[in-house]
Amino acid sequence: MAAPVDRQEALAALAAEAGTRLELAAPQDILSWALETFGDQFCITASMADAVVIDMASRIRPGVPVIFLETGYHFPETLRTRDRVARKYPVVVHSVVPKQTIEQQDALFGPKLHDRDPDACCNLRKVEPLRRSLEPYAAWASGIRRDETASRRSIGVVEWDANRAMVKVNPLARWTQDDVDDYVAEHDVVVNPLLSQGYPSIGCAPCTRKVAPGESPRSGRWAGSGKTECGLHLNADGQLVRRGN
C-alpha cells in the first residue's frame, strides 16, 4: 500500500536532498545513510550477477533483506549464486516468485511469451513481483550504474521512485566496471561464474546471449528486440528514474 501523500512528499524531498548531498560520497557512505535513515524499511534487490552491494551493506548492518526475483527462467548458475550469497553473507534472501508458474503463463498467453512480447513477460515475472515485494519498505537499493547504458547515465545515487512512491538508492551509480572488479578482488565477493564465460550482463536465460569481445556488455540482453530495460528501474512514463524526479 502506498504511503499517504504528505509522507510521500516528505520522502521525495528527503531523496532530492540526499541525492545532491551524497552525489560524491563513497557507496558505503550512501548505504550507511540509507540503513540509518530507513532501518527495517530498507531492502536491497539483487540480480545475482555479483554481491558487491550485499557485501557492503552486510558489513554495515547484518540482516538486511535482499530481494531476488525468481522468474523461473534463470540460468542454473544464477540460482547457485543466489544460494552461495545466502550462505556466505549475513543477509536475509527473499526469492520472490511470479503469481503464475511458467506453465500457467503458457496456458494463458501461449508458450515463449518472452520471444513474442518480452515487455508483457517482464511485467508478469519481474515488475509485478518486485512491486509486491517492495510494499513493506520505504526505500530500496539496486546495483545499477551510470556506465552500463546510455539510458542509465542520469540515474542519481539517491532519487525519488515516483512509480512506487519510494526512495531509490543506487550506491554504485558513479562506479565503473573497473571499480566493481577491484572491490570484488579486494573483498573476495561472490560473483556469478557466467560473468567470466562471456555474459557480462546476466538476466533470464531465454533473453540473454553471450557477448563478443568489444561489444557493449548489455548488448546480450533481449538482443535484436530493441528492448533495453526489464522495467524494474522505469517510472510510470517508461523512463528511468532520474536525478531530480
CB of 223 to ligand SF4, least distance (A): 11
| CA-only gyration radius of the chain, Å | 17
DSSP secondary structure letters along 166-219: EEEE-TTTT--HHHHHHHHHHHT--B-GGGGGT-SS---GGGB----TTS-GGG
Site string for ligand SF4, 103-132 (x = CB under 6 A): -----------x---x--xx--xx------
Give how many residues touch ligand SF4 by CB under 6 A: 13
Q: Active site residue: 43, 121, 204, 230, which one?
A: 230
Q: Rounded to an integer, what is the distance from CA 122 to the centroid of its chain?
A: 14
Rounded-to-integer distance, Cα 158 and Cα 156, Å: 5
Q: Which is nearer to ligand SF4, 61 or 217 (CB)?
A: 217
Which of 33, 222 has the CB closer to ligand SF4? 222
Residue of minimal Cβ distance to ligand SF4: 204
Q: What residue has cell string 534463470?
A: 74
Identify the residue among 61, 70, 73, 84 touching ligand SF4 (CB under 6 A). 73
- The Cα 145–Cα 112 span in angstroms is 30
* 206 in contact with ligand SF4 (CB under 6 A): yes
Where along the sequence are the contacts to ligand SF4 (CB under 6 A)?
A: 71, 73, 114, 118, 121-122, 125-126, 203-204, 206-207, 230
